[in-house]
Structure 1
Amino acid sequence: MSQKFADDLSAYLYFGYPGEPALGPPTFMHRLSAMDDPDAPISHHWQDSTHVTFGVATAGVQWRNVKVEGSVFSGREPNENRYDFERPRFDSYSGRISWNPTADLALQVSHGYIESPEGLEPNVNRHRTSASLIYNRKIGPDSNWATSFVWGQNDDTHEGKTESVLIETNYQRERDTVYARWERVEKSGHELVLAPTDLNKIFPVNAVSIGYVRDFSRGNNIDIGLGGQFTIDFWPNELDRYYGDGPGYGFEVFLRIRPSRHDHGEQHSGEMK
């Protein structure tokens, strides 16, 4: 529900079950800069993991190109039974400020408290802080370039603060797309399920990916493409005894089938419409 008070002032109320609270940037599968990468970021749970929440209520005010939002929502993430519905709790909260200085650029900062997000660790609560910059530019009749910078921090009960940084870019020209992603995440020994002597340590992990996709079929509202991706993973020497000597390498080939996008320029940065 929305209400316009003046030409440059409006407000809205939103309820979702499930839905997405005002916390973090657009989740990775909804970002143009990540739309051709078949893998989820390893920083997902530091930046935008609340995109499927059973019970969300959000109120927002927009003045010109600035939006201020607040949400109450259920902190517990959905379990592995994807066909049922979780009980709404409304035990968590968040706030976000977004600014679109141009039609191609979107910035946001947000903070939230997430009550007991993990079912396996019900006594662990989380404070999450996020900031992002998303740039999207139509550069031709059928060409688009999108880039995102995302920073996220989790502050968990008994574990403290861990941070993540992500930079990703996607350049599409007619049937061809080239994309890349770099991210750095601080992971605890507890999360990595290491030996007791390493449980309380923090380990920085890096991943770099580059990929290419060629659409060999376009039209009839369906695009079919064949792609390949190469990834290099880096970890500190202390983890060699668990994962072997680094760096690690991975290569994948994938077939992508998705609905056609009729105009690559219609979506800009995505924060405010």
Structure 2
Amino acid sequence: MSRFKLVTAAAALLALAATPVFAQDMDPSMDMSGHDMSGMDHMNMSASDSGWHVMSHAVLNFVADDQEGPRGGSKTFAEGMFMVMASRRLDDRTDLDLNLMLSPDAFMGKGGYPLLLQTGETADGVHHLVDAQHPHDLFMGATAKLTHRFDGDTRAFVLVGWPGEFGFGPTAFMHRASGENFPTAPITHHWLDSGHITMGVVTAGVAKGPLQLEVTQFTGREPDQYRFNLDTPKLDSTAVRLTWSINDSLTAQASWARQVSPEQLAPDEDLQRRSLSFDYNHAFKAGTLYSTLAYGRKEIEHSGEKPADAYLFENTFKFNEKWMALGRHERVYNDELVHTGAYWVAKTEIGAIRTFDLGHDMTLGLGLVRQFNTVPDALKPVYGDHPNGTVAFFQLKIHPMSGMKM
């Protein structure tokens, strides 16, 4: 497909999303923070509903990033995402869901933004990105999902995406409730949820009651350094994920993947990946807690190297419509930071956001996050004794979701 056709299709959906909306029978507090593109969610429509139901959601962060120490740097940039979803009931038992997700990250420059202890992907096709977060592709997701409901509480679905998210790990950080308000990516991203932009995904799943099983065939190679195109699908890799909705507040997932040649700069290396995570979302008298606890492992096949593990504990506490607190701690075993070996490093982030209601389903948040990085003595000559960071940001949201019927 030519770039012109892709941009034209994107523009058409964006125009559709800008059409005046009407209220649907849905929870007005609903947002897309827990949306899983491979997932368990689809728009709820009554048996009498017909035609297309279109919904949109947007987040745009304007960020001033200052990373300290010899490997630090400063940059101002914009990042975020815009999502349009269209659903249609085909018959009493079958639904069709279409999803398009775009990101402005591609315009920030090929080097992304400075983020100490972050690694993954390449900016130029020659060098690894180190202490920087790569920009996401313009096209973050374009998926079609067909869901069929059987008698009782059993349903099955098939999802096709180019790009899409393969069934591995927790929901990607920019969609999960505990992580969507952080202005920078977690350093565990390439252990847990980097598969949210995969250039070719086919997932088949079945769910019964609180359990869901997914099997995905996907393109193992991560997106290349060209952020405005779509890479060729290969469907050479496999993932399996089991999700358990334990109760209304707690969800668990366990997943495995064999990923063929994920790194452009190490094409002969295939990965075995594993993950386990828990999402906890609960309303207390003082506010609502959104929390994720996750573990991920990457292991190079047929290699004597030690597997690389990563841990994440991520939290957002929403006191009310005006104030929320952010807290995230991560620990990773990373062999890409320096050429002399692998080391355990850690990052702790603490922050807050003050939100203002702008009306018309829009809010503006003013936020500040302080980052504290911990490195072993062997890395202090490279990073300094206190390689910390400060991130200030404006966060524009169009939420909850806008919806219309066609």
TM value normalised by structure 2: 0.60
Which string of whole-angstrom CA distances, capped at 9 and with x for unpartnered residues, describes residues 238-260 of structure 1?
11122122x32212211111212
User: Comparing 108-117 with 214-223, which one deviates more in the overlay?
Assistant: 214-223
Q: Distance in 1 between matches of 2:236 and 2:282?
A: 39
Q: Distance in 2 between matches of 1:161 and 1:113?
A: 14
Deviation at 1:6, TM superposition (A): 1.8
Deviation at 1:87, TM superposition (A): 0.5
Q: Which residue of 2 aligns with 1:154?
A: 298
Aligned partner (choices 237, 256, 259) of residue 92 of structure 1: 237
Q: Distance in 2 between matches of 1:224 and 1:4?
A: 39
DSSP 3-state at the match of 1:29? coil
Q: Which residue of 1 aligns with 2:329?
A: 182
The within-5 A match list for 1:227-242 is 227-242=367-382
Which string of whole-angstrom CA distances, capped at 9 and with x for unpartnered residues, describes residues 40-67 of structure 1?
0001001110011111111111111101
Which string of whole-angstrom CA distances, capped at 9 and with x for unpartnered residues, describes residues 149-171 of structure 1?
01000002443411000001101
Q: Distance in 2 between matches of 1:230 and 1:220?
A: 31
Please say if residues 174 and 181 of structure 2, whose CA atoms lie closer than 8 Å, have aligned partners that are also in contact: no
Q: Which residue of 1 aligns with 2:205?
A: 60
DSSP 3-state at the match of 2:296? strand
Q: Distance in 2 between matches of 1:262 and 1:57?
A: 27
Please say if residues 54 and 78 of structure 1, whose CA atoms lie closer than 8 Å, have aligned partners that are also in contact: yes
Q: Which residue of 2 aligns with 1:104?
A: 249
Q: Distance in 2 between matches of 1:81 and 1:138?
A: 42
TM value normalised by structure 1: 0.89
Which string of whole-angstrom CA distances, capped at 9 and with x for unpartnered residues, describes residues 76-130 of structure 1?
1111212111100000000011100112211000000111111111111111100
Question: Percent identity between the aligned chains?
Answer: 33
Whether 1:258 and 2:405 are equivalent positions in the alignment is: no
Please say if residues 32 and 170 of structure 1, whose CA atoms lie closer than 8 Å, have aligned partners that are also in contact: yes
Q: Distance in 2 between matches of 1:261 and 1:149?
A: 25
Looking at both structures, which has the greater relative contact order when contacts are Cα pairs under 8 Å and sequence separation is at least 6? 2
Q: Which residue of 2 aligns with 1:271?
A: none
Deviation at 1:231, TM superposition (A): 0.9
Please say if residues 218 and 260 of structure 1, whose CA atoms lie closer than 8 Å, have aligned partners that are also in contact: no
DSSP 3-state at the match of 1:87? coil
Q: Distance in 1 between matches of 2:356 and 2:172?
A: 28
Deviation at 1:262, TM superposition (A): 6.4
Whether 1:24 and 2:24 are equivalent positions in the alignment is: no
| AA at the equivalent of 1:40 | A
Q: Distance in 2 between matches of 1:243 and 1:84?
A: 35
Q: Which residue of 1 aligns with 2:227?
A: 82
Q: Distance in 2 between matches of 1:20 and 1:252?
A: 28
Please identify runs of 4+ aligned residues in structure 1 that moved more than 3 A.
157-160
Please say if residues 20 and 56 of structure 1, whose CA atoms lie closer than 8 Å, have aligned partners that are also in contact: yes
Deviation at 1:139, TM superposition (A): 4.0
Q: Distance in 2 between matches of 1:160 and 1:3?
A: 43
Q: Which residue of 2 aligns with 1:220?
A: 360
Where structure 2 has 5 or more consecutive residues not aligned to the other structure, the ranges are 1-145
Deviation at 1:8, TM superposition (A): 1.8
Whether 1:248 and 2:248 are equivalent positions in the alignment is: no
Q: Distance in 2 between matches of 1:243 and 1:230?
A: 17
